[in-house]
Chains A and B, each alone.
Chain A
Amino acid sequence: KAGVTQTPRYLIKTRGQQVTLSCSPISGHRSVSWYQQTPGQGLQFLFEYFSETQRNKGNFPGRFSGRQFSNSRSEMNVSTLELGDSALYLCASSLAGQNSNQPQHFGDGTRLSIL
């Protein structure tokens, strides 16, 4: 069974640009969550999508947005990039979502660097 796939693995952008990251969950998983990981702040929850609906979101500005498609694949978009957006962005999928006792399965992340 294929794991969670995130593309691209690495990305370099400049301030003011926008970026779209992609996540393909494990087959059959309907929940996709996104996290930002930085050395200073650790792992911070961005949002969760379940069956194409955003079910929960963290405390990030509106520049961070996402969506989920009918095949459960998800995209995350960051507009007007800032230097502080440099981070590892992780996607995690699970069968039933964060309101269940099921563990999350993580992709290897997209490392975003802002110049």
Chain B
Amino acid sequence: AQSVAQPEDQVNVAEGNPLTVKCTYSVSGNPYLFWYVQYPNRGLQFLLKYITGDNLVKGSYGFEAEFNKSQTSFHLKKPSALVSDSALYFCAVRVPNRDDKIIFGKGTRLHILP
């Protein structure tokens, strides 16, 4: 069965430091991978996606993610964290032509400490 895991419920990072939010997936086939961010009392906002091609994907607000097929991971990264990056982050996966549902991870709460 398809699944996506975000192993950390919460990540704390000091402002200005690099941040990483982890995501691993378990699917058969070639997945489409997405990252979304959710601010309080708001819906999810799309950050970036990996479909095919270059393993390093750049997205909104200075975020990027690296697709690693051998480790089945798609970690979200940013070189220098801002306090305004504090939010809930969701990884999502879909396998084309199989089931066609998008599966979301449980989310990781990112706290950027001033």
Listed in ascending order, the chain A residues whose CB lies under 8 Å from chain B are: 4, 6, 33, 35, 42-43, 45, 48, 55-56, 58, 90, 92, 97-99, 101, 103-109
Inside 8 A of B101's CB, which chain A residues have their CB? 45, 48, 56, 58, 98
Q: How many A-B residue pairs have CB under 8 A?
A: 57
- Sort chain B's interface into a size bin: 20 to 34
Q: Which 5 A-B pairs have CB atoms at the shortest separation, nearest pair first?
A: A106-B43, A103-B46, A42-B106, A99-B100, A43-B104
- The answer to whether B104 touches A56 (Cβ under 8 A) is no
A41–B94 Cα gap in the complex (Å)?
A: 19
Which one, B43, B90, B102, B103, contacts A107 given CB within 8 A? B43
The secondary structure that dominates the B interface is loop
Chain B, range 56-110, C-beta contacts under 8 Å to A: 90, 94, 96-97, 99-107
The secondary structure that dominates the A interface is strand
Inside 8 A of A6's CB, which chain B residues have their CB? 43
Which one, B41, B45, B107, contacts A43 given CB within 8 A? B107
Q: Which residue of B lies closest to A91 (CB)?
A: B43
- The answer to whether A92 touches B100 (Cβ under 8 A) is no
- The answer to whether B51 touches A108 (Cβ under 8 A) is no
Min CB–CB distance B30 → chain A (angstroms):
11
Between A43, A45, A104, A108, the greatest number of chain B beta carbons within 10 A of the residue's beta carbon is seen for A43
Chain B, range 38-62, C-beta contacts under 8 Å to A: 41-46, 49, 51
Min CB–CB distance A93 → chain B (angstroms):
11
A4–B90 Cα gap in the complex (Å)?
A: 19
- The answer to whether B43 touches A56 (Cβ under 8 A) is no
A99–B105 Cα gap in the complex (Å)?
A: 18
Min CB–CB distance B34 → chain A (angstroms):
6
